[in-house]
C-alpha cells in the first residue's frame, strides 16, 4: 500500500506543446514519463510500474511459447554488423559510439554501434555454442533497451530514439520446424496483447531490412497510427499498406489485342499525368503508362504502373536489390534519352536499354492493354501502345499501392483501410543470417546444414502507449486491470480525520488481501482535485472515504470505466471489496 503524499505522481493540468496525440498527452499529464530530449524519456514511478507489468506479462507468454531468456550487450562491435547481410541498409539508423572519446577514431581503433536489434549478436553466439541437431530447436529472448537514430522522433514513446523492446530469435533444423516456432510465437503474441488489454490485429507485412520469407505485424487500431491496415472483416484478410494486395486484376485476364500501330505525337510542356489528362489530349490517367526509374545496388531499373496508380516502394524488395532509391534526373536522361515526364519503355526507344538492370511492370497495366506513354523524347508521347506487343518488360509483379474499395483477394468484397500502431512483428528469416555467420548444425547423418531462423519483436513502451491510445476518455486514462500502476485507489477526502485514515487503511488492507495493489490518496487537497487526478491517472477501482460518509456509515465504490457510484455500508465493505477485486481480475 502506497500513500500518495509520500509517492511521486506529478500530474499536470495542461498538455505539453509538442504532444500531438491523446496517448502522448496523457503519458505526460498523468505523470508517467518526462521528456529529456527528442525521442528520450524518463519513466517516472507510475510509468515504470506499468512498463514492468507489461514486461512481466510478455516474459510469461514468450516463455510459454518456448522462449529462453538471456541478456545481450547494448554496445556492439561494428565488425559483427559488417559481417552480416544488412550493414549497408541498417547503418543509417544506428548510433555510433566513439571508443576514444575524442571524436577522432583512428583506423586502428574498433568501431562500436548501439544495437537496434540483436541478430548480429545472437547468431554468432549460437554458432559457437550449438553444433548438433540434438540441441535444436532453441528460442532465445530478452527484454531490454534498444537504440534507433530516428531523424524525426515524435508521438512520445511511439517513435523514440531509445526504447524498451522484447526481441527473440528462434533456431530450427528445417523450414517445417521453423514455421512451427513462428506460429508458436504468433500465438504467444496474441495471448500477450489480450492480457495487457490491447486489441491488436495480426496483418501480413513486408520483411523490409530484416529480410526473410514472410512476416506479420501486430497493429493496434488507432485514429492516429504510423501505418495503414488494409482489411476485410468478413474474410479475415488483413495486411499493412506495404504488403497489401487486391483482386483488381483477374488471374485469367486475357492479353489485349493491338488496336492500331503505335503513333508518336507532340506534347510540348506536358510532363505530368494530370497534364496529359487535360485538353487537348484528354488521356485518362488509367489509360496512361507511368514509367519510374530507380537505382538498385548502383544499377538503374524501370518500373511501369498505370498513371492512376502509386508505387509502393517497399514492394520493390522482391526484386532482390540490397539498397534501392529513386534515380535523379541526371542519372535518368543518359539512359532513357529524356527527362522525367517523357519516359516510356516501348521497345527501341530507350537510348541505353542495355544499361537497365530490368524493366518491371505492375500487373495492373494489363487492364490498359493499349495506352499512352512517353516517347523518351522530351515533349513527345506515343499512343496505341500495346502491353504485349510494344513494351520491353523483364518481369511482372505487384508494385502498386492498394486503395480502399478494391476487391479483397480472399472474398472479392471491398477492402477497407484504417490507421494502426505497430506494436509487434514476427519474421521467418530462413537462413539469411545463419549462412552469413556460419551458424550450422550436424544432422544424424553427420551432414552440415544452416540453421533456419525466425526473429520476433514487441515494443514494450509502444504497447504501453498503445493501451492508453485505445483506453482513454475525455478525463484521462482508463487502465485495463492487468497493467494498471495500481488497481485500487482509496481516496480520502478528509485525511485530517484519524477515523477516515484508519478506515482507508482497512479498505486498502482488504483490497491487498484480495490480490490488488493499492494507492491511498491522503493529500490535503480539495475533493475536486483528487477526483480529477483519479480520473487522469486511470486506476480501475476507486474507493472514496469522506467525513459525511463516515457519519452515514458508507463508502463510495466507483469503477473508472463506469459513471455509476455505488454506496457500500461500512459493515459490508471487506466482502464487497474482495468481490470487486475478483471481478476486476476476472475481466483481465
Q: Three-state SS for 210?
A: helix
Bridge partners (DSSP) of residue 145 are 164
pLDDT at residue 254 is higher than 60: yes
> What integer pLDDT is reported at residue 216 of this predicted model?
87
Instruction: Give the pLDDT band (50/70/90) at residue 106.
Output: low
Shared domain for 64 and 209, answered yes or no, is: yes
As a whole number of angstroms, the distance between CA 135 and CA 443 comes to 11
Average pLDDT over every residue of 227-248: 89
Shared domain for 219 and 90, answered yes or no, is: yes
State the DSSP H helix or E strand holding residue 39, giving kind and residue range, or none if neither.
none
- Is 145 inside a domain boundary? yes
Shared domain for 438 and 573, answered yes or no, is: no
Phi then psi for residue 165, to 5 deg, are -145, 145
Residues 289 and 392: beta-carbon distance below 8 Å: no
Phi then psi for residue 361, to 5 deg, are -115, 140
As a whole number of angstroms, the distance between CA 30 and CA 408 comes to 42
> What integer pLDDT is reported at residue 173 of this predicted model?
97
Mind listing the pLDDT tens digit for each residue in 502-551?
999 999 999 999 999 999 999 999 999 999 999 999 999 999 999 999 99
As a whole number of angstroms, the distance between CA 336 and CA 300 comes to 10
> What integer pLDDT is reported at residue 212 of this predicted model?
47
Mind listing the pLDDT tens digit for each residue in 321-370?
988 999 999 999 999 999 999 999 999 999 999 999 999 999 999 999 99
pLDDT at residue 280 is higher than 90: yes
> What integer pLDDT is reported at residue 201 of this predicted model?
87
> What integer pLDDT is reported at residue 211 of this predicted model?
45
Residue 565, judged by CB atoms within 10 A of its CB (0-12, 13-18, 19+), counts as exposed
Shared domain for 310 and 366, answered yes or no, is: yes
- Is 410 inside a domain boundary? no
Shared domain for 438 and 356, answered yes or no, is: no
Residue 106, judged by CB atoms within 10 A of its CB (0-12, 13-18, 19+), counts as exposed
- Residue carrying C-alpha cell 482497512: 506
Shared domain for 79 and 194, answered yes or no, is: yes
pLDDT at residue 28 is higher than 90: yes
> What integer pLDDT is reported at residue 108 of this predicted model?
60
Shared domain for 375 and 334, answered yes or no, is: yes
CATH of the domain at 304: 3.90.960.10
Instruction: Give the pLDDT band (50/70/90) at residue 109.
Output: low
- Is 230 inside a domain boundary? yes
Mind listing the pLDDT tens digit for each residue in 163-208?
999 999 999 999 999 999 999 999 999 999 999 999 888 888 765 5
Shared domain for 103 and 151, answered yes or no, is: yes
> What integer pLDDT is reported at residue 20 of this predicted model?
84
Which of 397, 427, 450 is at the close of a domain? Answer: 397
CATH of the domain at 36: 3.30.930.10
Q: Inter-axis angle of helices 460-470 and 45-64, to 10 degrees?
A: 110
Q: DSSP per residue over 314-342, as a string?
A: GGGGGG--SSEEEPPHHHHHHHHSS-TTS
As a whole number of angstroms, the distance between CA 380 and CA 268 comes to 7
Return the exposure string of 331-345: e unless at least 16 CB atoms fall within 10 Å of the residue's CB, then b: ebbebbbbbbbbbbb
In this prediction, what percent of the chain has a pLDDT beyond 90?
Answer: 82
Which of 364, 397, 430 is at the close of a domain? Answer: 397
Instruction: Give the pLDDT band (50/70/90) at residue 210.
Output: very low
> What integer pLDDT is reported at residue 90 of this predicted model?
86
Domain count of the chain?
A: 3
Residues 346 and 262: beta-carbon distance below 8 Å: yes
- Is 274 inside a domain boundary? yes
Cα separations in angstroms, 116 against 91, 144, 398? 10, 11, 30
Which of 439, 468, 497 is at the close of a domain? Answer: 468
Cis peptide before 329 (omega within 30 of 0): no
Shared domain for 317 and 231, answered yes or no, is: no
Residues 567 and 556: beta-carbon distance below 8 Å: yes
- Is 189 inside a domain boundary? yes
- Residue 58's CB: how many other CB atoms inside 10 A? 26
Structural domain including 384 reads: 263-397
pLDDT at residue 269 is higher than 50: yes
As a whole number of angstroms, the distance between CA 119 and CA 127 comes to 12
- Is 480 inside a domain boundary? no
Shared domain for 102 and 205, answered yes or no, is: yes
- Is 481 inside a domain boundary? no
Mind listing the pLDDT tens digit for each residue in 422-454?
899 998 899 999 999 999 999 999 999 999 999
Q: Inter-axis angle of helices 175-196 and 460-470, to 10 degrees?
A: 50
Q: Which residue has the higher pLDDT, 102 or 547?
A: 547
As a whole number of angstroms, the distance between CA 25 and CA 480 comes to 19
Shared domain for 57 and 118, answered yes or no, is: yes
> What integer pLDDT is reported at residue 102 of this predicted model?
58
Apex CA 497: angle with CA 493 and CA 500, to 5°?
60
Shared domain for 101 and 213, answered yes or no, is: yes
As a whole number of angstroms, the distance between CA 449 and CA 216 comes to 26
- Is 358 inside a domain boundary? yes
CATH of the domain at 491: 3.40.50.800
What is the residue-averaged pLDDT of the chain? 93
As a whole number of angstroms, the distance between CA 311 and CA 370 comes to 21
Q: Inter-axis angle of helices 175-196 and 45-64, to 10 degrees?
A: 140
Residues 149 and 95: beta-carbon distance below 8 Å: yes
As a whole number of angstroms, the distance between CA 95 and CA 337 comes to 41
Amino acid at each position: 500500500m502506497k500513500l500518495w503524499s509520500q509517492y511521486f505522481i506529478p500530474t499536470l493540468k495542461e498538455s505539453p506543446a509538442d504532444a500531438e496525440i491523446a496517448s502522448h498527452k496523457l503519458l505526460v499529464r498523468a505523470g508517467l514519463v518526462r521528456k529529456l530530449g527528442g525521442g528520450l524519456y524518463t519513466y517516472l514511478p507510475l510509468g515504470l510500474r506499468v512498463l514492468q507489468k507489461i514486461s512481466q506479462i510478455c516474459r510469461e507468454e514468450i516463455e510459454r511459447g518456448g522462449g529462453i531468456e538471456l541478456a545481450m550487450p547494448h554496445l556492439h562491435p561494428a565488425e559483427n554488423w559488417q559481417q552480416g547481410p544488412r550493414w549497408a541498409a541498417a547503418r543509417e539508423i544506428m548510433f555510433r559510439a566513439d571508443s576514444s572519446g575524442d571524436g577522432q577514431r583512428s583506423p586502428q581503433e574498433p568501431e562500436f554501434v548501439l544495437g537496434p536489434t540483436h541478430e548480429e549478436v545472437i547468431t554468432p553466439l549460437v554458432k559457437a555454442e550449438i553444433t548438433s541437431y540434438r540441441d535444436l530447436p532453441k528460442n532465445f529472448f530478452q527484454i531490454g533497451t534498444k537504440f534507433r537514430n530516428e531523424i524525426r522522433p515524435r508521438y512520445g514513446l511511439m517513435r523514440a530514439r531509445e526504447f524498451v523492446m522484447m526481441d527473440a530469435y528462434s533456431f530450427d533444423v528445417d523450414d517445417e520446424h521453423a514455421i512451427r516456432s513462428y506460429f508458436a510465437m504468433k500465438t504467444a503474441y496474441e495471448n500477450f496483447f489480450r492480457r495487457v488489454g490491447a486489441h491488436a490485429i495480426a496483418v501480413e507485412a513486408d520483411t523490409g531490412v530484416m529480410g526473410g520469407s514472410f512476416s506479420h505485424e501486430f497493429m493496434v487500431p488507432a485514429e492516429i497510427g504510423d501505418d495503414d491496415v488494409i482489411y476485410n472483416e468478413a474474410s479475415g484478410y488483413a495486411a499493412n499498406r506495404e504488403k497489401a494486395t487486391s483482386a483488381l486484376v483477374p488471374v485469367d485476364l486475357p492479353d489485349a489485342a493491338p488496336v492500331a500501330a503505335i503513333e508518336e505525337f507532340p506534347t510540348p510542356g506536358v510532363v505530368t499525368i494530370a497534364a496529359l489528362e487535360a485538353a487537348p489530349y484528354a488521356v485518362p490517367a488509367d489509360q496512361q503508362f507511368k514509367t519510374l526509374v530507380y537505382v538498385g545496388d548502383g544499377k538503374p531499373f524501370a518500373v511501369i504502373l498505370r498513371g492512376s496508380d502509386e508505387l509502393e516502394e517497399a514492394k520493390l524488395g522482391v526484386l532482390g536489390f540490397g539498397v534501392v532509391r529513386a534515380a535523379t534526373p541526371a542519372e535518368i536522361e543518359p539512359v532513357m534519352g529524356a527527362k522525367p515526364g517523357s519516359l516510356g519503355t516501348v521497345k527501341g526507344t530507350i537510348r541505353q536499354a542495355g544499361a537497365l538492370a530490368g524493366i518491371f511492370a505492375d500487373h495492373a497495366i494489363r487492364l490498359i492493354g493499349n495506352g499512352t506513354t512517353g516517347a523518351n523524347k522530351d515533349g513527345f508521347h506515343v499512343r496505341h501502345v500495346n502491353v504485349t506487343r510494344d513494351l520491353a518488360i523483364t518481369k511482372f509483379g505487384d508494385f502498386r499501392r492498394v486503395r480502399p474499395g478494391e476487391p479483397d483477394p480472399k472474398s472479392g468484397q471491398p477492402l477497407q483501410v484504417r490507421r494502426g500502431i505497430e506494436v509487434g512483428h514476427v519474421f521467418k528469416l530462413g537462413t539469411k543470417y545463419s549462412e552469413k555467420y556460419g551458424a550450422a548444425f550436424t544432422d544424424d547423418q553427420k551432414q552440415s546444414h544452416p540453421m533456419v531462423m525466425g526473429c520476433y519483436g514487441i515494443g514494450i513502451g509502444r504497447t504501453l502507449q498503445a493501451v492508453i491510445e485505445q483506453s482513454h476518455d475525455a478525463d484521462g486514462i482508463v487502465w485495463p486491470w492487468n497493467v494498471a500502476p495500481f488497481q485500487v485507489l482509496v481516496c480520502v477526502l478528509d485525511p485530517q480525520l484519524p477515523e477516515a485514515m484508519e478506515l482507508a487503511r482497512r479498505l486498502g488492507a482488504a483490497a491487498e488481501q484480495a490480490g490488488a495493489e493499492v494507492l491511498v490518496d491522503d493529500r490535503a487537497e480539495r475533493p475536486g482535485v483528487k477526483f480529477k487526478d483519479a480520473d487522469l491517472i486511470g486506476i480501475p477501482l476507486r474507493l472514496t472515504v469522506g467525513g459525511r460518509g463516515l457519519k452515514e456509515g458508507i463508502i463510495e465504490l466507483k469503477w473508472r470505466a463506469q459513471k455509476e457510484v455505488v454506496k457500500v455500508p461500512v459493515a459490508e465493505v471487506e466482502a464487497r471489496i474482495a468481490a470487486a477485486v475478483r471481478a476486476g481480475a476476472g475481466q483481465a
